[in-house]
Each structure stands twice: as C-alpha cells, then as structure tokens.
C-alpha cells in the first residue's frame, strides 16, 4: 500500500520562496509516482498545485500573520490519526502549523518527518540580539518540546545535519538533498534553441531575495574589485522585501561608482528567468546561510557556471566545475576574476560539467527515489 503523505506548510505560495518551491516539486513528483499527496497550508492564497496533488487551506485565526495560526487544522489533523497509511511531512519549525502537526503526530502515533529547510542554521541564530532572544524563548518553550519526540529529522545537506544534531540530541537525522525538476529548464532550452542573445558586455547574474543572508553586500564590492577595466555588468534580480537592506545595496553601488555596471531588475519569473540564467556569463549566489539553494541548481541546469559559498552545503560542487568560496569580499573577488578571465570554451565546459552533476546528484529522477524509500521505511516502522 502506498502511503498518503500530508505536507504541512505555513504558507503555500511564492511568498514563501524556497520552501514553497521545494514542496511544490516534491509533491508533484510524489503525485506523478501515484502516491496520494495532500498539502495542508495556513492562509488562503489559491496557489495552483501540481497535477494530482490536493490542497487544503485553513484560514488564519489567532495570531494572524505573526504566528499564522490555521483555524481548523488541529481538528482536521485529529481525523487523520486513526487511518493507517498516513504520513505527516512537516516543513519548517517556527510557526503554528508545524507546532500543531508535531503535537498531533506524537499524540496519535502517526509516522512523521520534519524538514527544517535551513531555519535552524547558525547564521540565522545570530541575526540580531533581540531576534536571537525571541528565537531562543520560542524554541525551548514551544517548538522543541513538540519536536523532541519526532522519530526522524531530515537535513538537506551533510552540513545542515551537523548543525541540526545539537538541536535534536539523540534523534535520528537523515540527509536527502533538494532536487530540481529539469523539465522546465529543458523545455525552455528546446523552444529557444539558437536564440541566445549575444550580451555585450557580458553579465554576472544574481537571482534571489534582497535579504542580508544572501550576501549581496559582499558581492557588490567584490564585483567592483574584480572588474579591473573589464566590460562586465552585474544584474541583480529579485524582490526588495527587506527595504533597509535594499537601500544599503544601492548606496554600495554608488560608493563603488558602479551605477553604469549594476542593475536591479526586481522580480523575474518564467521564461524571462530562464533566459537570464542561460545568457549570463556566470551566476553568483554568495549566501551567508543556505541549504543547497535552488537558484544554484537552476543556473547549472542551463549550463551556466556557478559561484556559491561553502555555507550552501554543496560540498561536491567543485566536482562539477563550480566554484565554492567563503562569503568574504577578498575571496569572492578572486573567484570573479577567475571567471571573468575564462575563455568561452572554458566557460562552456564548466557549465556542461555542472549540468551533469545536477543530473547525477540533484535531479528528481535520483532524489525522488530516496524520498520514496524513506516514506516506505517510515510506514513499515509504524506498522
């Protein structure tokens, strides 16, 4: 019997960024393999789901936006405990949905796996003294007491596993990486073959939220240092949802005299996103804290060289011709100089090797089988 997997998430919409993308792709894969799959989400957004996936949304109640308490979720979860073959997959750790699901699973003996999605990474604990105090209070008073009995904690990288181990002492941790559905990238490449724009001058691309953890305050001065008279541009695509930080970045551009070379594009989606990836000379994600980062996989999928940081946990990235650095100006500027000096043949070779690495390690064809095996094991252990 195939298990019915219920994915609990605090917000199933693009506003939830990477978590939404991971849940969308994972549930789509499960449904394509014939597994009954339902997303349980707080708030009502009406975001489309993959074919074969059920979506049940619960209106926000007490706590509203701050804790995103989903009215009716607790009662609904109680109805699932008596049915054999159900599995809860909890995504995230900080909001009401995860807390309710963990408590319900423990009470009813439902097989459950928790994915933290990088929300307990060391950098995030250091994000401001007041934030740290609030997180510590919430973690030890509410979150951890609900999670400490869960049988399985999922880490996305070996590095995240090492970071999670002190938070979940004595609990089992297993590693399955984030994955990418290569179909969208391949469809774009097939329909736009031979249409690559000859970008002059060539550009370095960043795509993601304008948020302090993304490392853009490192990228801009590193880019300025690496230019050394070269005709390169830096395109920064993504929403400015952290206004103070966005203003700081614009000031950095002015301070370095890069107004002509650096452009802020705002949010980019669909074919335009894939075109930016494909036509870039290279992609750079200098994150202070990340777990894999789907943007790295997306850029590699269209054979664009990628510079990212050790903090992503992509320890095998250099096997595929990618470049790993620490998020420091000096180290990143050296990597950019290297990339800017590549010949076209060298650049294409690095891109091809990265695409092959994604196919071998980070495609749903490979990672999906790991999830099916894990869910089956969870169900058998609770039989």
Question: Considering the chain, what is the average pLDDT of its residues?
Answer: 94
Q: What is the pLDDT of residue 129?
A: 82
The model's pTM is: 0.94
Q: What's the pLDDT band for 56 if we cut at 50, 70, 90?
A: very high
Identify the weakest region by mean pLDDT among 58-72, 214-228, 298-312.
58-72
The domain in which residue 348 lies consists of 183-362
The answer, yes or no, to whether residue 17 has pLDDT greater than 80, is yes
Identify the weakest region by mean pLDDT among 61-70, 295-304, 373-382.
61-70
Q: Which residues pair with residue 152 across a beta bridge?
A: 172
Same domain, 261 and 317: yes
Identify the CA nearest to 246 among candidates 284, 271, 285, 220: 220
Cβ 102 vs Cβ 147: under 8 Å: yes
Question: How would you label 269-292 residue by residue, b for 16+ Cβ within 10 Å and e otherwise?
Answer: eeeebbbbbbbbbbbbbbbbbbbb
Cα(362)–Cα(278) distance, integer angstroms: 19
Q: What is the pLDDT of residue 64?
A: 63
Cα(49)–Cα(34) distance, integer angstroms: 15
The answer, yes or no, to whether residue 45 has pLDDT greater than 80, is yes
Same domain, 31 and 174: yes
Q: Which residues contact 249 (CB under 8 A, 6 or more apart)?
A: 210, 216, 217, 220, 236, 264
Lateral strand order in the sheet of 262-266: 262-266, 233-237, 203-207, 282-285, 306-309, 323-325
What's the Cα-to-Cα distance from 143 to each of 110, 313, 315, rounded to whole Å? 18, 25, 30
Same domain, 134 and 232: no
Same domain, 172 and 189: no
Q: What is the pLDDT of residue 5?
A: 97
Same domain, 150 and 193: no
The answer, yes or no, to whether residue 196 has pLDDT greater than 70, is no
Same domain, 55 and 77: yes
What's the domain count of the chain? 2
Same domain, 207 and 355: yes
Same domain, 368 and 358: no
Same domain, 175 and 215: no
Same domain, 175 and 202: no
Identify the weakest region by mean pLDDT among 9-13, 23-27, 121-125, 189-193.
189-193
Q: What's the pLDDT band for 133 if we cut at 50, 70, 90?
A: very high
* Domain harbouring 8, CATH code: 3.40.50.2000
Same domain, 306 and 369: no
**CA 350 and chain centroid, separation:** 23
The answer, yes or no, to whether residue 167 has pLDDT greater than 80, is yes
The answer, yes or no, to whether residue 198 has pLDDT greater than 70, is no
Same domain, 164 and 262: no
Q: Is the dihedral of CA 13, 117, 366, 30 positive or negative?
A: negative
């Amino acid at each position: 019997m195939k298990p019915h997997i219920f994915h609990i998430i605090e917000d199933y919409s693009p506003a939830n960024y990477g978590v939404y993308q991971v849940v969308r792709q994972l549930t789509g894969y499960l449904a394509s393999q014939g597994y009954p799959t339902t997303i349980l989400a707080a708030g009502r957004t009406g975001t489309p789901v993959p074919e074969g996936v059920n979506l049940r949304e619960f209106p926000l109640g007490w706590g509203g936006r701050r804790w995103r308490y989903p009215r009716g979720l607790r009662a609904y979860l109680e109805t699932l405990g008596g049915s054999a073959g159900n599995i809860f997959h909890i995504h995230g750790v900080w909001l009401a949905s995860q807390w309710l699901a963990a408590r319900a699973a423990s009470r009813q003996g439902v097989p459950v796996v928790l994915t933290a999605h990088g929300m307990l990474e060391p950098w995030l604990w250091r994000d401001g003294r007041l934030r740290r105090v609030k997180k510590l209070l919430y973690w030890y008073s509410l979150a951890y007491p609900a999670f400490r009995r869960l049988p399985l904690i999922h880490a996305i990288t070996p590095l995240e596993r090492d970071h999670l181990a002190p938070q979940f002492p004595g609990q089992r941790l297993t590693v399955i990486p984030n994955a990418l559905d290569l179909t969208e990238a391949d469809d774009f490449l097939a329909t736009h073959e031979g249409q690559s724009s000859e970008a002059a001058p060539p550009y370095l691309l960043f795509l993601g939220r304008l948020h302090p953890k993304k490392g853009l305050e490192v990228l801009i001065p590193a880019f300025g240092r690496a230019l050394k008279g070269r005709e390169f541009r830096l395109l920064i695509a993504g929403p400015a949802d952290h206004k103070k930080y966005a203003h700081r970045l614009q000031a950095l551009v002015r301070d370095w005299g890069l107004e002509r070379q650096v452009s802020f594009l705002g949010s980019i989606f669909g074919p335009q996103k894939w075109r930016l990836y494909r036509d870039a000379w290279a992609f750079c994600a200098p994150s202070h804290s990340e777990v894999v980062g789907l943007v790295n996989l997306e850029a590699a999928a269209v054979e664009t060289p990628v510079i990212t940081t050790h903090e992503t946990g992509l320890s095998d990235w250099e096997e595929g011709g990618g470049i790993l650095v620490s998020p420091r100006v000096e180290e990143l500027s050296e990597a950019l100089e290297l990339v800017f000096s590549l010949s076209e043949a060298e650049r294409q070779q690095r891109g091809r090797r990265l695409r092959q690495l994604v196919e071998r390690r980070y495609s749903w064809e490979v990672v999906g089988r790991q999830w099916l095996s894990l869910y089956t094991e969870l169900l058998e252990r609770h039989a």
